[in-house]
Every structure is written in structure tokens, then in C-alpha cells.
Amino acid sequence: MHLVLVHPEIHSNTGNIARTSVAIGADLHLVKPLGFSLEDRYLRRAGLDYWPMVRLHIHESIEELLPTQEEFWLFSSHGRFYGDVAFGPDPWLFFGRESTGLEPEILAAYPDRGLRIPMRPGVRSLNLGNAASIVAYEALRQHGYPGLWRDGR
């Protein structure tokens, strides 16, 4: 699985998602520009001591990733309900910046790839770390949580 953060702005969200990526065995991809330095102490603190285990990839643009992936999904407040999708064993899950989400041009270019997490009317969005975790664990659930401990340690 690949968690892709496109132009993330908040260091603590990225650190949180880095911890999740280690916990589930996913690669973490960050698409520039970033709203923080990778040397930021708050980013490091949010990721705790897991940073050496993060399979981190930095990319210059989203365009270098999208056309090359067999299965990718774009998350926004529009699109189909993510629970109606049968995720493959190695999906690429793209999430946009905290303030504005993914660019409208990207969503328009791949209208069949847009997915959303349901929320009550009037709620604009979820925290980026929560959204990534919700979707990643659903994709893992569909495959029986491969490689993860299910019955304790």
C-alpha cells in the first residue's frame, strides 16, 4: 500500500501518517511543495522513533505518479463512497493538502478515481491523519490485514 500526501501543510499530520505507514507496512510518499521542513522537530516528534522505519519517498509532482499506477484513488469531499470500492492488494491512496484538498484539475482528469469518506452535512473535512487511517485500514480489512497482528502481541 502507498499513502500519498500531495502538498501537505501540517507537520504533525504528516508525522502521524508516517507512524501509521510503519504500523501497516505502507510506503509514504510526499509530493512537493511541503508546508514544512523534513527536519522540523514537531514533524519528528509526531512520528516518534518510527522515522528510521518509514519507507519515505519524495516527489516533485503528482503528475509523475498518477499515470504510472495500476490502482490509485483520489480522496476528496466528492466522489463515490470509499466503502463501495474493492481495493486491490497494493493501492495508491492520494490525499490533498489540509486547507484545500487535491487540485480540481487532478480530480477532473480522473473522475472515476475520486472517493469520499461520509460525514454529516455541514462538516467540511476530517483531519488528514484520521482520513488516511480510515481508508488504509479498510483496504487492509478487505484483504484480512495481511502481515498485521490481529490477536495481540
Other Cβ atoms within 10 Å of 78 Cβ, number: 14
The reply to whether 28 falls in a domain is yes
Domain with residue 14: its CATH number is 3.40.1280.10
The reply to whether 146 falls in a domain is no
- Residue 66 · residue 72 · CB < 8 Å: yes
The reply to whether 18 falls in a domain is yes
The reply to whether 23 falls in a domain is yes
Report the side by side order of strands in the sheet with 2-6: 55-59, 27-31, 2-6, 92-95, 72-81, 114-116
pLDDT of residue 47: 55
pLDDT along the chain (153 residues), means of 10: 96 90 96 85 65 92 86 92 96 95 94 94 90 97 89 62
Other Cβ atoms within 10 Å of 81 Cβ, number: 10
The reply to whether 153 falls in a domain is no
pLDDT of residue 46: 57
pLDDT of residue 66: 84
Beta strands of 35-91 (E only): which ranges? 55-59, 72-81
Distance between CA atoms of 89 and 142, rounded to whole angstroms?
9
pTM: 0.92
Question: What is the chain's length?
Answer: 153
Domain of 78 in residue numbering reads as: 2-141
Structurally, how many domains does the chain consist of?
A: 1
pLDDT of residue 12: 86
Element (H, E) at 28: strand 27-31
